[in-house]
Amino acid sequence: MLAETADGLYCDAGGFHVDPWGAVPRALITHAHGDHARASSAAYLCATPTVPLLRRRFGSDVIVDGLDYGATMRIGDTRVSFHPAGHVLGSAQIRIEGADGVWVIAGDYKRAADPTCEAFEPVRCDTFITESTFGLPIYRWDATARVIDDIHAWWQDNAQRGQASIVFCYTIGKAQRLLAELTRVTDRTVIVHGMLTPMIDIYRDAGVTMLPTETLVERPRGRSLAGELVLAPPSARGTPWMRRLGDFSDALASGLMRVRGVRRQRAYDRGFVLSDHADWPALLETVKDTGASRVLTTHGHAEPLARYLRERGLDASTIRTAWEGERGMDDSE
């Protein structure tokens, strides 16, 4: 039903692409991250909560239509619906039903609870296209509460040393998740880079409860940032913006931090293993939950995951996409 083309995955029966990387007449979008939602297509269809995120990214004059989770739309010779993926606000798995059976394109997803988005919903299908960003057995996530407690303790330790604490994180999803999860342990205002503010505002408009925030522009110049927590996108690292932070300790919040060598290579003071992607056990659990007889793996560690599934009797292979997931660390995410 879906085939690889120069512009991405194409459904001939419906006449649409899914998360295309080229400009196409009609694009169905799993979520608003930059490796899945690219500008210049003529029209977009996504889950309803994703609409304001795409309009913010692409401009208000772009045609972006939303479909509520679970609602069905006939497109060509297919029936299409969006189902929660648990990745970020509005993220969705796309279910496509047609003559070739039921296909589900998961996009990016996670199984861990997240107060900023709808929980992942397993969808039964014949063919399942799954991400494999962290498709190796070494990737296993700790409980989110434990990670948040570690971040809070690190922040307090830095404050005692007169340092600011800066955590680098994605513009869509990770920043908002941190601000929401931290409400369990504090009510303090967090300093955020101006690039984060528009998407934080969209999350607030969607009803997500987060810590209060302010930007450096809103603070009087010369006021010390010692003891403050600061969130910023990775692209801000090493820029003149950081000179205002004074003495600071920095960290990256990412599943990539599970591998110690990555943190050393990127020279962060700390690494917090917090990912908006499924870890190895969750990938296997999800494949099982779909009941799919055929699995296509993409981006990240696609071949190791496909090989593991083949060894256990499934029809599994890889499929090429331009999606990068957390491994790409794209600030547009």
pLDDT tens for residues 137-183? Answer: 999 999 999 999 999 999 999 999 999 999 999 999 999 999 999 99
Q: What H or E segment, with its residue span, contains residue 25? A: none
Tokens of 70: 């679970």
Residue with structure tokens 């479909």?
Answer: 67
CB 290 within 8 A of CB 101: no
Residues 219 and 237 in one domain: yes
In a domain, 333, yes or no: no
- Structural domain includes residue 60: yes
pTM of the entire predicted model: 0.95
| CA separation for the pair 57, 55 (Å, rounded) | 5
Alpha-carbon gap, residue 279 to 140, rounded angstroms? 5
**pLDDT digit string, tens, across residues 17-58:** 999 999 999 999 999 999 999 999 999 999 999 999 999 999
* Same domain assignment for residues 68 and 179: no
Assign residue 14 the CATH number of its domain: 3.60.15.10
Q: Is the pLDDT of residue 332 over 60?
A: no
Q: How confident is the model at residue 222 (pLDDT cuts 50, 70, 90)?
A: confident
The last residue of a domain, from among 237, 253, 272 = 272
Strands 213-214, 190-192: parallel, antiparallel or unpaired by DSSP? parallel
Tell me if 249 is assigned to some domain: yes
> How many Å apart are CA 277 and CA 286, to the nearest integer?
12
What local confidence, expressed as pLDDT, does residue 320 receive? Answer: 87
Q: Do 245 and 149 belong to one domain?
A: yes
- Predicted pLDDT of residue 327: 55
pLDDT for 323 equals 82
Indicate the number of domains in the chain.
Answer: 2
Domain that holds residue 163: 144-272
